[in-house]
Amino acid sequence: MSESNRLDQTSVKRSIPISVIKLLRPKQWAKNLLVFAALIFTAGYHSADKVILAIAGFAVMCMAGSGTYVFNDLIDVEKDRKHPKKKFRPIASGAVPKSVATVVGVAALAVAIIGSYSLNKYCFAIIATYLVLQVLYNWRLKHIPVADVYCIAVGFVLRAALGAAVLKAGISGWLLFCTGSLALMLGFAKRRNEFILQGDDRTSSRASLAGYSQLALDGFVLITACAASLCYGIYSLDSATAHKYPALILTAPFVFYGISRYVLLVFSVNEGGEPADVLFGDVQIIVCVLSFVACAAFAMSGLRVPLLER
């Protein structure tokens, strides 16, 4: 074997682990930070045991999500090869063989299922529901306009619910509505990006795009952005948590600003294709998120604001 061939094989062997990591889409794990919402809004971060449980719930959700991403890529490999961006994914590009991807996907799902069962029955039920939802999504729902995005949004609500379940804590309906509305906003913004980016060839990679129009998607983004802002505003004013910690209302401006900034990026520079890229790529949104978390922590620590006392 020539020296160049040996070098090529060595390079391939080294690149496969990196490609496998990419296959799991660790950047998408940012979505699972919703698991920590219950920890923040119940002030559970004061307990080391609860923090560990929340981290475990986060890890389980990451593995469930990564496992479904792997099988999504296996199912959609031919369509992904026709997509201007998705063609560079590990399976579509050939960087990871299908056999290796299958093993990785099964392992990730096994960790998620076993891990959730070890936490408690509620966590197991939520993960099971999430996985069934993903099966329905890949089987039929992803081909139906609006239903495809709502399916994704339910996944976000389940993430927030998992965070509460792992701590065996209650969660406000308004917070769940806010979570769902935010997820719908992100989902419709992503469909809008795909609709514009792929032009007349859009249905070759996603059948549901044939049922959308840009005007409808613009409207959906704005409606859901307003709904998310409204739901969080009510939560910060009139939930059981808000009654106990009146300073929670101070977190609302950061939510409103973050949503406004995201909508601006969607309509001004056609962002939204990958929400995680916007989250980690826009300085203003990063500052807004960090400020929100800090303010929420102060509010849940018993910060008193006389003007807000009931």
Mean pLDDT within 60-64: 95
pLDDT of residue 127: 96
DSSP per position, 117-137:
HHH-HHHHHHHHHHHHHHHHH
pLDDT-above-70 percentage for the chain:
89
- Domain identity same for 237 and 270: yes
More confident residue, 184 or 2: 184
As given in the structure block, the two tokens for residue 270 are 């056609």
Lowest mean pLDDT among 9-13, 23-27, 61-65, 229-233: 9-13
Query: Which SS3 state, helix, strand or coil, does residue 72 take?
Result: helix
| Section 102-124 average pLDDT | 94
Between 170 and 200, the higher pLDDT residue:
170
Residues 107 and 166 occupy one common structural domain: yes
Same domain, 214 and 109: no
Range of the structural domain that residue 38 is part of: 23-171
Mean pLDDT of 188-195: 89
pLDDT for 126 beyond 60: yes
Pick from 119, 137, 171: which residue ends a domain? 171
What band does 20 get if pLDDT is binned at 50, 70 and 90? confident
Please say if the pLDDT value at position 102 is more than 60: yes
pLDDT band for position 8 (cuts 50, 70, 90): very low
User: 191 and 81, same structural domain?
Assistant: no
Written as one letter, the residue type at 115 is G
d(CA 122, CA 245): 27
**pLDDT, averaged across the chain:** 85
Both 163 and 32 in a single domain?
yes
What's the confidence (pLDDT) of residue 6? Answer: 46
The C-alpha atoms of residue 88 and residue 95 are separated, in whole angstroms, by 9
Domain termination site, one of 137, 171, 205: 171
Total structural domains within the chain:
2
Do both 266 and 219 map to the same domain? yes
Name, in order, each residue with C-beta under 8 angstroms of 214's C-beta and a sequence gap of 6 or more.
Answer: 192, 195, 196
Q: Looking at 131, 150, 171, which one is the last position of a domain?
A: 171
Q: Shortest CA distance to 291 belongs to which of 258, 265, 254?
A: 254
Q: How confident is the model at residue 309 (pLDDT cuts 50, 70, 90)?
A: low
Residue 273's pLDDT band (cuts 50, 70, 90)? low
- Domain annotation covers residue 14: no
What pLDDT, on the 0 to 100 scale, is given for residue 199? 67
User: What is the average pLDDT across 266-279?
Assistant: 75
Q: What is the CATH number of the domain that holds 52?
A: 1.10.357.140
200-216 per-position pLDDT tens digit: 666 666 778 888 899 99
Please state, for a pLDDT cut of 90, what percent of the chain lies above it. Answer: 44
Q: Please check whether residues 176 and 254 belong to one and the same domain.
A: yes
Q: Which of 65, 54, 83 is nearest to 27 (CA)?
A: 65
Q: What is the pTM of this model?
A: 0.81
Is 220:184 a contact under the CB 8 Å cutoff?
Answer: yes
pLDDT score of 9 more than 50 = no
- How confident is residue 10, by pLDDT bands cut at 50, 70 and 90? very low
Residue range 49-68: mean pLDDT, rounded: 94
- Please state the rounded mean pLDDT for residues 266-276: 75
